[in-house]
Amino acid sequence: MIKDKFGLPVFRLKCDELSKYEIVLLLARRAKAINQKRVELEAQLGTKILETEKPINQATRELLDGKLKYEFRKEEKEAPPAPPKPTKTII
């Protein structure tokens, strides 16, 4: 395992198709979904669930292990309005 100058592990994500911004969005959305599921389970069970791992760490681990599947939808841009047709001026 590669370590940085402070001795912390450095993870290399084998995903050239995602930018850093997209990775952050992906992890944030997954962490939010994990946390929401925990809240729903707490409501169903009527008791507090003890977290052993933070949702963002779990989402990151899922991405590094290749367990997290993703698909970004590209927004279709509306066609710009057609320019007005010239009108004939009769003099």
Place of tokens 């993870």: 11
Nearest to 38 by CA among 55, 26, 22: 55
Contact between residue 60 and residue 29 where contact means Cβ atoms under 8 Å apart: no
Angle at 74 between CA 76 and CA 14, to 5 degrees: 165
Residue-averaged pLDDT of the chain: 82
Over the stretch 34-55, which tens digit does the pLDDT of each residue have? 999 999 999 999 999 888 999 9
Q: How far apart are CA 70 and CA 90, in angstroms?
A: 61
The residues, ordered by sequence, that sit 6+ positions from 13 with a Cβ below 8 Å of its Cβ are: 23, 63, 64
Question: 20 pLDDT band (50/70/90 cuts)?
Answer: confident
